[in-house]
Structure formats: structure tokens, C-alpha cells
Amino acid sequence: MKATAIAHPNIALVKYWGKRNIEYNLPAAGSVSLTLGGLETRTTVSFDGGIDADVVELNDNLVDQGPKYDRVAHFLDLVRNRAGIREHARVVSHNDFPTGAGLASSASGFAALAVAATHAAGLDLSDSELSALARRGSGSAARSIFGGFAEMRAGTREDGQDAYAEPICGADHWDLRCVIAVTAHGEKDISSTEGMTRTHQTSPYYDQWVDSVSLDVEWARAAIEQRDFDELARIAEASCLRMHASAMAAEPGIIYWNGTTVDLIHRVRKARKEGLPVFFTIDAGPQVKVFCPAESQTDCELLLRDTDGVRDVLVTHPGEGARLIE
């Protein structure tokens, strides 16, 4: 009743921002992502009849109460119910990159937990079932079940069984690099879940944002299949800016960016005008993720390192899906 899994975070090229159902954590629209090799969550789950509550250790710290603990314990309940077991679990999880700072640690975290916990509980789920389960932990985790490029389907069913991700192309289809400029350390003030809820409830742009997504998903899929960098750059930057515009228009407005985030947007666009194939995307935090073809990685890294306020630069490549290692 013990298993260890690895998963990588993923970065959305077409963003997920809003839920159609909170209880089942169902997205209001689809999304498209690239799974990032080079950043990793490693999680071990062991069900143990000898403990009377779940024990959760994240990055060497015991988490024994609060929202983080509740989120993991609730997820373990879903696995226990499905497997028909009652034992509590010991969960030990490590990220080799900053947690809760807009680097998609909840995506890799719940993807690794889904794989490790289901195996430890004796379940044998398909990738689609694993993806739908991971979604209950965190919407973006559904995409990290798969390697390479993935599409999340919003689905239409009330129970969410058709809201899971599917692969578009594997990691070896297109060697895009995602170079991450870390502009601030520390956890963000407004969680993604809270930001989405506030945007849904108060932003006058929310409905228009959601309506815009399905065409972007279709176009992004085609651009990825054809390895059309310029087209993917257009769609990804538009999706990112529309998502943030809808959040900024909420009340009170949600601004995840700092000054360096904005400087980087301008620098990336200027470099592209001057001939360097690069585009940016930004999630629920101040970090800027810059995509480029493999041959432009060094120039891209230099561009980011040379920008005042950039504290760290992380280089990633297309990664594999979540998997069991022991």
C-alpha cells in the first residue's frame, strides 16, 4: 500500500481561469498546456492502518492543519472512497522548485499525488480517469498527467466525468523551451482559486473572457500540430493578456504582476521585433515564462538575465507525463 510518483508542472498556452462548478472543480472553458521537464514533484503515499489521521509532509515541513492540509486530506478521501478502503495515509512530497509562487506547483503536486495515491490504494485507472481525478485537487493538475502538449476539455456533464485532459502531441514533437524569469520569491497573496472566484463574481469582462477561449484552444492545437511558432506566439500572448485583463477588472482588481513583470513583457516583444523568436506568458503570479525554439535558448536566457529585477532564471524543456517510479 505504498507508491512513489513523479510529475512535472505545466504552463498553459491557452489559460484556464474560471470554474463552472466549484464542488467538482469543473473549468468554465478548455485550456492548452506544455508539460515542463526540468522541474519536478516527487510524492510518496503509504496507506497505514496504524495512524488515525492523514499525515502530510511538504518540502520537509509537517502540514497538520489549514487549507493545504484540508485540500490533501479531501483528495485522499476521494481515493479512499473509490478504492473502498478506510486507512489513513502518510504523504511525503518534495518540489525541486519554488512552491506557490506561480510556477504551477499545484499542477505537479496533485498529478503526482493522484498517481501515487491511486496505486497505493490498489486502483488501476486509465489516464483519462487519473486526469479527471487530479482535476479535483487542482484544475491545472489534470494536464500534468500527460507529457508534451495537452488539451483540457471543459466537458458538459454535471459530475465532471468528461472534464479531463488529452494529449495533443508528445514531448518529442516540438523542442520548445520555456525559460522562466523569477521576479519575486515567496507565495502569492491571492490564490488561483480565490482569484478565479472573484473574477467570476465581479469582473464585467468574465463572460467575454470565457467566450473567447474555445477558438483559442482550436487555433493553439493547430499551431502546435504544425509547429507554427508565430501563430502560437500570437494566441498565447493574447490568451494571457485577456485572462489578466479579466482578473484586473474584478473588484477589488487582481494584479499578479510587479514592475519587472511589465518590463519583461516589453523586452520580449522588442526582442521579437528584432528577430529573436520568443513569446511570453504569465500565470497567477509575477514570474514571466518565455517560450522559444531550442536553438534560441541561450539568447533568451541572456535576455532575461540581463533584465533588472530578475532574481533567477530556470530553463525547462518538454517533459513526460506523471508516472510511477516505485
Among 140, 260, 261, 316, binds ligand 2P0 (CB under 6 A): 140
Quickly tell me which residue has 481525478 as its cell: 133
Strands of the sheet containing 88-95, edge to edge, are 61-63, 55-58, 88-95, 41-48, 2-7, 323-324
- CA distances 207 to 59, 192, 211, 213, 224, Å, are 38, 18, 6, 10, 27
Q: Which is nearer to ligand 2P0, 28 or 55 (CB)?
A: 28
CB proximity list for 84: less than 8 A, separation 6 or greater:
none
Maximum C-alpha span of the chain? 63
Residue among 151, 111, 146 at smallest CA distance from 29: 151
Q: Which is nearer to ligand 2P0, 6 or 14 (CB)?
A: 14
Q: Is 21 in the site for ligand 2P0 (CB under 6 A)?
A: no
Among 139, 155, 160, 319, binds ligand 2P0 (CB under 6 A): 139
Cβ 131 vs Cβ 146: under 8 Å: yes
| Shortest Å distance, C-beta 57 to ligand 2P0 | 21
Quickly tell me which residue has 483559442 as its cell: 216
Among 121, 236, 284, 304, binds ligand 2P0 (CB under 6 A): 284
> Would you give the DSSP letter of residue 86?
-
Q: Is 41 in the site for ligand 2P0 (CB under 6 A)?
A: no
Q: Which is nearer to ligand 2P0, 17 or 229 (CB)?
A: 17
DSSP-assigned beta bridge partners for residue 169: 149
Q: Is 283 in the site for ligand 2P0 (CB under 6 A)?
A: yes
| Shortest Å distance, C-beta 78 to ligand 2P0 | 14
Among positions 176-235, residues that touch ligand 2P0 (CB under 6 A) are 192-193, 196
Q: Which is nearer to ligand 2P0, 47 or 256 (CB)?
A: 256
| Shortest Å distance, C-beta 39 to ligand 2P0 | 14
Residues found near ligand 2P0 in the complex (CB under 6 A)? 12, 15-17, 25, 31, 106, 138-140, 192-193, 196, 283-284
